[in-house]
């Protein structure tokens, strides 16, 4: 199992100048991300949520090399994002919902050509990926239209394609469905689900739309006021007749605890493996008495955080 | 890049405008010498050569990194984020954002002016002088380019940075076009040596014209421009790096 993202004590502070009377300014330090520990393995799909101002975008910007962390350790694909920014950029794809990376005045297809040169990707590789995106995201209708004339839904599909043309290992999406109508949202979700299911692209997405998470992410990470408040991996509780004699050695599975003299085991699944796969492996080596899956209680966690912030 | 040719009329206006800008530089010198026969101890032909060298250096710098002045807008809008997630230098991307084809016209025009000015000043044709004549605008462009970049980086710290950049770049052009002997001591030291504008045209022109410096500087300084250029470029690059690390981005 390969670690794609790793942060320890990641921290970002901003100095804000507040007007305090005539010509005087008071400076105040705002901590946007406050000691974040997060690891993501290859192939995971992580939903990263939190209220406005919780530090989601700031985290994403530190992971992509846009912002320089105030403190802490961060590695993405083995690179230090800011110092090795250009090398990292070849390995990751980024979609900022609010900022376009397409050329406003050019037809969409020319933006793709330019990006191919920017990333120095072989024409054949790029063409194959583009063909796939054209089919799945139905781009053909507006490939020759200047980007400024695209609808939001069309533009977001174009942005996704643009972020994938160089075949990134990790895809960072900052609110990819924001402002989209239902049909476009579903098109984007279906596309991301297919991409994630293929298993070789790690996806981290921030969103305010819980339907995105439910549909896409096996792992939910919640941040509030710069701190990690929930890192929900799915848990599987297994009751056995006899304690397990062999080591499962399954990637993506860790033993959280063993109870009842080893006859009850709580596993956590990191998202690269389904509960079904674990169960079928278990039945090969032991007699199962009972199994139950503990889902991360998305709504509960989220509602608790959001209500605390409403006046 | 190609976006520009999408708006043909404004493209033509841009080309005409930028050549006009070069003409105005020359006219400025002519006007000054209608009033006075000598400026800071230099005759028309000599000042004309300095103006031509500075103008050419400025035009070349403007061609390569002139687009950097847009940095403010990129920083303010957060669009700079997009540049940072691509596998190229952010500075190079910003510079190439539109390699203004219209500015090519200005560089070509100003190069012609340099040749005319050198002939007019009867610069002796020796290999050394010809070399210096070619190298000087390049070194000058490095100095101007570094100033463009360095002043633009202010935007990383202070988003409302408006006219500071123009003050130093266009102010620098005006400074470099005339012999430094006409300026007051404090101002001259600041612009000529701290920023290095005296090396854009003044010192090389002295060598080209085979004149000793009225201020008593050794003639060797005329050949120092490339070294000064490299030094200020390195300084500007360091400022840029510090600026990018200080970049705060905006919004979500």
Q: Is B248 on the interface with A (CB under 8 A)?
A: yes
pLDDT of residue B123: 84
**Total number of domains in chain B:** 1
Kindly state whether residue B252 falls inside one of the protein's structural domains: no
Q: Is B8 on the interface with A (CB under 8 A)?
A: no
How far off is chain A from B15, nearest CA to CA, in Å?
20
Quick count: other Cβ atoms within 10 Å of Cβ B108?
14
A5 neighbors A204 (Cβ within 8 angstroms): yes
pLDDT of residue B252: 46
Kindly state whether residue B9 falls inside one of the protein's structural domains: yes
Chain B contact set for A61 (CB, 8 A): 81, 249
Residues in chain A, pLDDT under 50: 311
Kindly state whether residue B251 falls inside one of the protein's structural domains: no
pLDDT of residue B127: 87
The domains located in chain A, with CATH, are 3-231 (3.40.50.300), 234-295 (3.30.70)
Kindly state whether residue B155 falls inside one of the protein's structural domains: yes
Averaged pLDDT in 10-residue chunks for chain B of 252 residues: 54 73 79 81 87 91 85 84 88 76 80 89 86 92 92 81 71 86 84 86 89 82 91 94 84 50
Structure-block tokens of residue B168:
């130093």
Give whole-number Cα distances, B121 to A242, B59, B128, B217, in Å: 102, 22, 16, 22
Give whole-number Cα distances, B233 to A133, A167, A229, B149, B205, in Å: 43, 35, 47, 9, 22
Chain B contact set for A103 (CB, 8 A): 3
H helix or E strand, kind and range, residue A279: helix A275-285
CB pair distance less than 8 Å for A98 and B248: no
pLDDT 10s digits, A88-105: 999 999 998 778 888 888
pLDDT 10s digits, A257-296: 777 777 888 877 765 666 677 777 787 777 777 877 665 5
Task: For residue B4, give the DSSP letter.
Answer: G
Residue B56 structural domain: 2-246
Chain B contact set for A118 (CB, 8 A): 86-88
Burial A17-32 (b: 16+ CB within 10 A, else e): eeeeeeeeeeeeeebb
Chain A contact set for B3 (CB, 8 A): 103-106
Q: Is B171 on the interface with A (CB under 8 A)?
A: no
């Amino acid at each position: 199992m390969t670690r794609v993202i790793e942060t320890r004590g990641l921290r970002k502070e901003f100095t804000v100048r507040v007007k305090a009377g005539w010509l005087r300014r008071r400076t105040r330090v705002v901590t946007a991300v406050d000691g974040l520990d997060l690891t993501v393995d290859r192939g995971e799909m992580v939903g990263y949520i939190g209220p406005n101002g919780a530090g989601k975008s700031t985290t994403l910007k530190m992971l992509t090399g846009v912002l320089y962390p105030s403190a802490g350790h961060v590695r993405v694909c083995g690179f230090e994002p800011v110092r090795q920014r250009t090398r990292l950029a070849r390995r990751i794809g980024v979609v900022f919902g609010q900022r376009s990376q397409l050329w406003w005045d050019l037809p969409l297809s020319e933006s793709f050509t330019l990006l191919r040169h920017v990333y120095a990707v072989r024409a054949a590789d790029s063409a194959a990926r583009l063909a796939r995106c054209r089919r799945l995201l139905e781009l053909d209708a507006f490939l020759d239209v200047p980007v400024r004339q695209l609808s939001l839904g069309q533009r977001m599909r174009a942005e996704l394609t643009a972020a994938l043309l160089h075949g990134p290992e990790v895809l960072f999406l900052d609110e990819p469905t924001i402002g989209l109508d239902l049909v476009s949202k579903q098109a984007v979700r279906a596309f991301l689900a297919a991409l994630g299911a293929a298993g070789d692209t790690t996806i981290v997405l921030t969103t305010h739309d819980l339907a995105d998470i439910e549909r896409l992410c096996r792992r939910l990470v919640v941040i509030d006021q710069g701190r990690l408040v929930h890192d929900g991996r799915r848990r599987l509780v297994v009751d056995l007749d006899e304690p397990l004699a062999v080591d499962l050695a399954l990637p993506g599975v860790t033993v959280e605890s063993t109870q009842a003299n080893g006859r009850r085991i709580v596993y956590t699944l990191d998202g690269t493996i389904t509960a079904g796969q674990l169960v079928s492996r278990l039945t090969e080596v032991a007699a199962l008495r009972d199994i139950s899956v503990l889902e991360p209680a998305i709504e509960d966690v989220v509602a608790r955080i959001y209500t605390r912030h409403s006046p | 890049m190609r976006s520009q040719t999408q708006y043909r009329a404004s493209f033509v206006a841009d080309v005409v405008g930028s050549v006009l800008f070069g003409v105005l530089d020359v006219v400025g010198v002519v006007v000054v010498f209608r009033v006075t026969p000598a400026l800071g101890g230099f005759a028309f032909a000599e000042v004309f050569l300095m103006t031509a060298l500075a103008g050419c250096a400025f035009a070349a710098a403007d061609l390569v990194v002139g687009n950097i002045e847009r940095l403010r807008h990129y920083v303010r809008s957060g669009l700079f984020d997009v540049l940072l997630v691509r596998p190229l230098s952010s500075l190079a991307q910003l510079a190439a954002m539109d390699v203004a084809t219209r500015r090519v016209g200005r560089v070509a025009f100003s190069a012609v002016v340099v040749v005319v000015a050198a002939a007019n000043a009867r610069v002796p044709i020796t290999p050394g002088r010809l070399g210096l004549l070619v190298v000087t605008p390049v070194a000058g462009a490095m100095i101007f380019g570094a100033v463009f970049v360095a002043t633009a980086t202010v935007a990383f710290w202070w988003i409302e940075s408006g006219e500071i950049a123009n003050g130093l770049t266009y102010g620098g052009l005006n400074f470099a076009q005339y012999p430094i002997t006409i300026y007051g001591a404090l101002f001259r030291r600041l612009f000529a040596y701290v920023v290095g504008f005296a090396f854009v045209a003044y010192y090389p022109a002295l060598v080209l014209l085979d004149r000793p410096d009225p201020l008593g500087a050794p003639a060797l300084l005329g050949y120092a421009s490339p070294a000064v250029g490299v030094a200020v470029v390195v300084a500007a690059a360091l400022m840029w790096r510090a600026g990018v690390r200080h970049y705060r981005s905006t919004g979500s």
